Amino acid sequence: MNRYFLGTPASGAWQWKDAYEAVEVAQILYLRHLGIRILSQQPQVVVQQLEELTAFCPTHTRRSEESVNLQQFSTPLPLAYLVAKAGFIQATDLVLEPSAGTGLLAQMAKLHSASLMLNELAPDRSKILRRLFPGTPLFSVNAEQINDYLVGKTQPSVVLMNPPFSASPKINSRNPDATKSHINSALQRLADGGRLVTITANWFSPNNPIWRETFVRWHSEARVLMSVGVNGKVYSKHGTTIDTRITVIDKVPADNPGNIPCIPETLDLPELLALIEQLPQRSSWERSEIKATAKAKVVQLPKRIIVAQPETVFSLPDDVVVLEYEVIEWTASEGLKDTLYETYRPQRIRIKDALPHPSLLCESAALALVSPPAPTYKPHLPQNILTQGLLSEAQLESVIYAGQAHCEFLSGSYIVDDSWDNVTVAANSSENAVKFRRGWFLGDGTGAGKGRQCAGIILDNWCQERRKAIWVSKSSALIEDARRDWCALGGTERDIIDLSNIKLGDPIPFTQGILFCTYSTLRSQKNGKSRLKQIVEWAGKDFEGAIAFDECHSMGNAMAQEGKLGMVAASQQGIVGLRLQNALPSARVIYVSATGATKVSNLSYANRLGLWQTGDFPFTSREDFVESIEGGGIAAMEVVARDLKALGLYLVTSVRKKTIAF
DSSP readout, 60-79? -----HHHHHTT--PPPHHH
Q: How far apart are CA 191 and CA 197, in angstroms?
A: 14
pLDDT of residue 63: 67
Residue 350 to residues 347, 392, 398, 457, 595, Cα–Cα distance (Å): 8, 12, 13, 18, 28
Helix or strand (DSSP H, E) at 360:
none
Nearest in space to 114 (alpha carbons), one of 98, 141, 136, 138:
136
Instruction: Classify strands 566-568 and 561-563 as parallel, antiparallel or unpaired.
Output: antiparallel
CA angle 514–517–521, rounded 5-degree value: 155
Q: How far apart are CA 218 and CA 234, in angstroms?
A: 28
Strand partners, 326: 350
Total Cβ atoms within 10 A of residue 431: 7
Q: How far apart are CA 203 and CA 413, in angstroms?
A: 73
Burial letters 190-229, b for 16+ CB under 10 A, else e: bbbbbbbbbbbbbbbbbeeeebeebbeebbeebbbbbbbb
Residues in the chain, pLDDT under 70: 63-71, 151-153, 167-173, 257-258, 283-318, 332-339, 558-570, 597-598, 601-602, 615-616, 656-662
Q: How far apart are CA 104 and CA 83, in angstroms?
A: 11
Residue 608 to residues 38, 120, 167, 434, 483, Cα–Cα distance (Å): 59, 40, 47, 13, 27
Contact 245, 161 (CB under 8 A): no
Nearest in space to 437 (alpha carbons), one of 522, 542, 537:
542
Contact 532, 579 (CB under 8 A): yes
Q: How far apart are CA 517 and CA 502, in angstroms?
A: 11
Sign of CA dihedral 64, 68, 73, 74: negative
Beta strand extents in 98-235 (DSSP E only): 115-119, 138-139, 158-161, 195-201, 223-230
Contact 516, 482 (CB under 8 A): yes
pLDDT of residue 15: 85
pLDDT of residue 496: 94
Would you give the distance in Å from CA 418 to the centre of its chain? 34
Residue 246: half-sphere exposure toward Cβ, Cα within 13 Å: 30
Q: How far apart are CA 244 and CA 234, in angstroms?
A: 9
Q: How far apart are CA 473 and CA 455, in angstroms?
A: 13
pLDDT of residue 312: 42
Sheet with 513-518, edge to edge strand ranges: 496-498, 513-518, 468-473, 546-550, 588-592, 440-442, 650-651
pLDDT of residue 423: 84
Strand partners, 410: none
- As a whole number of Å, the CA-based R_g of the chain is 29
CA dihedral 176, 181, 186, 188 (to 10 degrees): 140
pLDDT of residue 273: 92
408: burial class by Cβ within 10 Å (0-12, 13-18, 19+)? Answer: middle
Contacts for 100-103: CB closer than 8 Å, 24+ residues apart: 100/125, 100/129, 100/138, 101/24, 101/72, 101/74, 101/75, 101/125, 101/162, 102/21, 102/24, 102/25, 102/28, 102/74, 102/128, 102/129, 102/132, 103/25, 103/28, 103/128, 103/129, 103/132, 103/133
Nearest in space to 186 (alpha carbons), one of 229, 141, 122:
141
